[in-house]
Amino acid sequence: MKKNVKNNVSWVGKVDWELKNFHGHEYSTHKGSSYNSYLIQEEKTVLIDTVWKPFDKQFIKDLSEEIDLKKIDYIVANHAEIDHSGALPELMKLIPDTPIYCTTRGVKSLKGHYHQNWNFKTIKTGDTLDIGNGKQLIFIEAPMLHWPDSMFCYLTVDNILFSNDAFGQHYATEHLFNDLVDQGELFTEAIKYYANILTPFSPLVIKKIKEFVSLDLPLDIICTSHGVIWRDNPMQIAERYLQWADNYQENQITIIYDTMWNGTKRMAEKISEGIQKVNSGITIKLYHISISDKNDIITEVFKSKAVLVGSPTINKGVLSSITGIMEEIRGLSFKNKKAAAFGTYGWSGESVTMITKLLEDAHFELMTDGIKAEWNPNDNAVRECILYGEKIGKILA
């Protein structure tokens, strides 16, 4: 269903309330998502991005009820990933000669996905496209936000930035705009999206926002490709991004563990008790990794100034859930965070050494040596865990 954004700009995307996982099963989407496509109808008609492939036919049907598809003069592909380009193959069957504006890397990615020689028009930052009625689209390349091909475009006179994935959230809503939704839900999804997708590119986020601000273009609206459109104080999300990109942390420690017979769980709880005894101001969150959502844990790690990671020893190593989450954490390149390891063992006892190595490989600063407990922690081991927690709590005070 077409919804007006401003003047002759409309949203023509798809809200996906049923989506529970994105990027295959890599990212949990508890609140669904949307694939935002936009239609500009000036003297020229422009379609900005499309929707994910499962919705291609519905998208084309809905769009063709609004306009004669042959009237689309230009398509802008801000990003080649399938959730935004997925309807192009079906659309281009109907309007095969329509020019597609994208970056040089966008051509490479689109050809890589669809193996078609569509009528590509490559752009560079600063290039413009006249769309009539005195309005232009200005293109701004945004490489690695979050793919090499990513770009923004800006509509003059209406003062709209089409930012694609940047500033998005996986958040289904029937209300288009940021001022019409629950702010707690909105920012929960926005920070999860940043933590899980954009963290590795934080230096580029800062650079791109500063570059956009230096262009001194008036900004009324940011149209993202997922979730709400920012029309109420649109710079608020850019300001949040500048904070999140600057080694963001709150006064929080996150304790991640896996456990087989609850010994490592008991260690986690007793270390937490020790932290609380000496540092009552710090937020402590405990997650049993095997029964928790990994993307939610990543968000908590993003917010933390320190993490503790624990596993029992099994087969001279750690439980595979721990290597899984540590690989996610390594890949996200978190900066300026402290860490330590803990775990139970019966005989060989390699888990703490192995977790410590994983933490170092992920560039955490080790606060202290890890702590081990033999078998099910006895009273003495429990006291040691509390003392260990006190030590951590004092370091983080």
Q: Mask of contacts with ligand FEO, 275-314, x by CB under 6 A? A: ----------------------------------------
Annotated catalytic residue 65: no
Q: Indicate which single residue of 202, 225, 272, 344 sits in contact with ligand FEO (rule: CB under 6 A).
A: 225
Annotated catalytic residue within 35, 38, 56, 226: 226
DSSP calls for 246-301: TT---SEEEEEE--SSSHHHHHHHHHHHHHHHH-TTSEEEEEEGGGS-HHHHHHHH
User: Does 23 qualify as catalytic in the annotation?
Assistant: yes
Identify residues 115-144 at the interface with ligand FEO (CB under 6 A). Answer: none
DSSP class of 18: T
**DSSP assignment of 303-335:** H-SEEEEE---BTTB--HHHHHHHHHHHHHT--
Looking at the DSSP bridge assignments, the partners of residue 264 are none
Instruction: Tell me whether residue 97 is one of the annotated catalytic residues.
Output: no
Segment near ligand FEO (CB under 6 A), from 79-87, 105-113, 261-269, 365-373? 79-87
81 binds ligand FEO (CB under 6 A): yes
Active-site choice (42, 49, 83, 390): 83
CB of 34 to ligand FEO, least distance (A): 10
As beta bridge partners, residue 41 has 45
* Under rule CB under 6 A, residue 226 binds ligand FEO: yes
Q: Kindly give, in sequence order, each residue whose CB lies less than 8 Å from that of residue 164, ignoring residues fewer than 6 positions away.
A: 49, 78, 79, 84, 142, 150, 151, 152, 224, 225
CB of 109 to ligand FEO, least distance (A): 10
Q: Where are the alpha helices (DSSP H) in the chain?
A: 56-66, 82-85, 88-94, 104-114, 183-193, 202-214, 235-245, 263-278, 294-303, 320-332, 351-361, 379-395
CB of 375 to ligand FEO, least distance (A): 47
Q: Pattern 182-221, binding to ligand FEO, x per CB under 6 A?
A: ----------------------------------------
Nearer to ligand FEO, 118 or 167 (CB): 167
- Residues annotated as catalytic are 23, 79, 81, 83, 146, 165, 193, 226
